[in-house]
Chain A
Amino acid sequence: DIQMTQSPSSLSASVGDRVTITCRASHSISSYLNWYQQKPGKAPKVLIYAAFSLQSGVPSRFSGSGSGTEFTLTISSLQPEDFATYFCQQSYISPWTFGQGTKVDMK
């Protein structure tokens, strides 16, 4: 299975901050990488698919980049509603696997 490792596991930030989360794959996955946001008590929702494509309805402050084994999710200016946990997921080869998550909380 392809292992997905996110860093950091958690971070504290303030409204307006630029936030970057990294996801590394144990093998090259080209651009087959998706990002999800999960708020407490809710199901995850997709933010970014295919490494950098913004899901419809997702604010443009979210962006994704990377290919191969290293990917980043960037929030250009953190908003109050962005405090949540973020997961990456590879869709390159079955079984699809997820990172362990990065929790973004308020500084």
Chain B
Amino acid sequence: QVQLQESGPGLVKPSETLSVTCTVSGASISDYYWSWIRQTAGQGLEWIGRLYNSGSANYNPSFKSRVTMSVDTSKNQFSLKLSSVTAADTAVYYCVRDLEQWLVGGKDSWFDPWGQGTLVTVSS
């Protein structure tokens, strides 16, 4: 059974860098794609980006150049860094397995499972 667990600072000051790590158990991080999603009261669910098992990433343009994702295969972990944060970045951050599979109609993907989420508050 694949399980994901986020760990983060809880509180980050404006203009600083938010950093969250996801530890994966029950699967090798090299075998799948992984994504970060956040949930805010105002914007709902927002996909931040996908990390491929090659180590490359596809980011949501909404986060422009502020986001960096990386993987540590030795620890079976992947990480999110979001720079120059503001109060609008206050959210619950989820790590998820980005499950891509070939179906009858072609290649498709969905998010399963999700970590429990970690609340990150941006405040001075």
Residues of A participating in the B interface, judged by any CB pair closer than 8 Å = 1, 30-32, 34, 36, 42-46, 49-50, 53, 55, 87, 89, 91, 94-101
Contact = CB atoms under 8 A, between A and B. Distances in A.
A7 B121 CA distance: 30
Given A34-B110, A43-B94, A100-B44, A50 B105 contact: yes
B28 interface: no
Nearest to B59: A95
Contacts of A87: 44-45
A104 to B, nearest CB: 16
Interface residues of B, number: 22
Nearest to B112: A46
Interface string B96-123: 0000000101001111111111000000
Given A94-B58, A95-B47, 14 more contacts: A31-B108, A42-B116, A43-B94, A43-B114, A43-B116, A46-B110, A46-B111, A49-B112, A50-B105, A87-B44, A95-B60, A95-B62, A98-B44, A101-B45
